Amino acid sequence: MEPVTQALASIALSRAGLNKLTPHATPILIAAALAPDLDLLTVVGSAGAYLRFHRTLLHSLVGGFAVALALAAIATSILNLRKSKEQSPQKSFLVAFSRILVLTICGVALHELLDLCDASGARLLWPFRAGWQAWYLGPDLDPLILILLIAAIALPALFKLVGEEIGERRKKNPVPRRWALAAFVIIGLYLGFRATMHSQAIDLLESAIYRGEVPLAVGAYPDSISPLDWRGVAATDNTLQEIQLHIESGEKFDADRAITHYKPAKPEVLAAAEHAAAIREFVAYARFPIASVQSTDAGGWHVELRDLRIPANSTSWENIIAAVDLSATMQIQKEEIRFAH
């Protein structure tokens, strides 16, 4: 999910009890929860670098643990420089490092968990496996989750301020922790409901017949902030089907409403294009790669692939295209990976 949600979730997690582990727990958790998104900087390089490393390098289990270790070592060193020498440096460092490492692991794990819930996912098993892991439960920015986190953080401070104004006796206040825990419980229930709706969308897509063909693979992606609206994709032998779903609308699911994308009638051209490194990298990235083949003025071919999981008009950086130019003799002349917009 986007960085604001990640940061607010880390603050709420700190207030839920982790802030008792060590001084400055909240900024450490925020840093750990945001650190995996440093691979967003690959967008400055090229679309190819972004495709290879975003939600891969620092979002994998190996990369995430390395990030947690590095942050824990840095944070412990900084805090040790600021504290008094009451214990031996080695003992003080090891004790502080172990507690801070728990924080950084929790922060990175929180980031990974939220990313698994959105429409993109992550390559958790990279570099050992290239596949994506995702639950596709909600959009990158979910207003309800954002509101719940803001409420869990802001309302306890507001109520405390009001209480002081009316002269209530100051006492130890467990309210912030209760609000944080309540927010996480409600978010969990909300995501559970979205998971149920997602499962129903998948069942509808799998049970349908598309232009006389059964689906070989299907996917349902959050189409809006509503948990009832999904964007479905179904792959058959010869087509890719794209359809909007509204769960529990009372209407019968009609597969004939799907937009049909036919596979190109030039299999020999696609076979030649598959030898390009750009195409191989893109196919490893895409869930539902769809190809278009056009002849060129020179008698060759221009092949483009995009991922049907992402709407064609999306301005997201995830909307990536792989393109290859072939000569009339099917030799690769040019290949590139670029952003669609």
Q: What's the rounded mean pLDDT across residues 67-77?
A: 95
Looking at the structure, tell me whether residues 255 and 288 fall in a common domain. no
In angstroms, how far apart are the furthest CA atoms of the chain? 86
Q: Is 169's pLDDT higher than 70?
A: no
Looking at the structure, tell me whether residues 256 and 306 fall in a common domain. no
Could you tell me if residue 199 is inside a domain? yes
Could you tell me if residue 151 is inside a domain? no
Q: How many domains does the chain have?
A: 3
Q: What's the rounded mean pLDDT across residues 3-28?
A: 93
Looking at the structure, tell me whether residues 269 and 245 fall in a common domain. no
Looking at the structure, tell me whether residues 63 and 99 fall in a common domain. yes
**27 touches 107 (CB < 8 A):** no
Determine the pLDDT at residue 172. Answer: 55
Q: Which residues contact 119 (CB under 8 A, 6 or more apart)?
A: 134, 136, 138, 139, 140, 221, 222
Could you tell me if residue 234 is inside a domain? yes
Could you tell me if residue 114 is inside a domain? yes
Looking at the structure, tell me whether residues 108 and 222 fall in a common domain. no
Q: Which structural domain range is residue 227 located in?
A: 195-261
End position of a domain, from candidates 106, 134, 162: 134
Looking at the structure, tell me whether residues 116 and 200 fall in a common domain. no
Looking at the structure, tell me whether residues 203 and 316 fall in a common domain. no
- Give 256-265 pLDDT, tens digit per residue: 999 999 988 8
End position of a domain, from candidates 134, 156, 181: 134
End position of a domain, from candidates 115, 134, 153: 134
Lowest mean pLDDT among 4-8, 31-35, 47-51, 215-219: 47-51
- Give 243-292 pLDDT, tens digit per residue: 999 987 667 888 999 999 998 888 899 999 999 999 999 998 899 999 99
Q: Is 97's pLDDT higher than 90?
A: yes
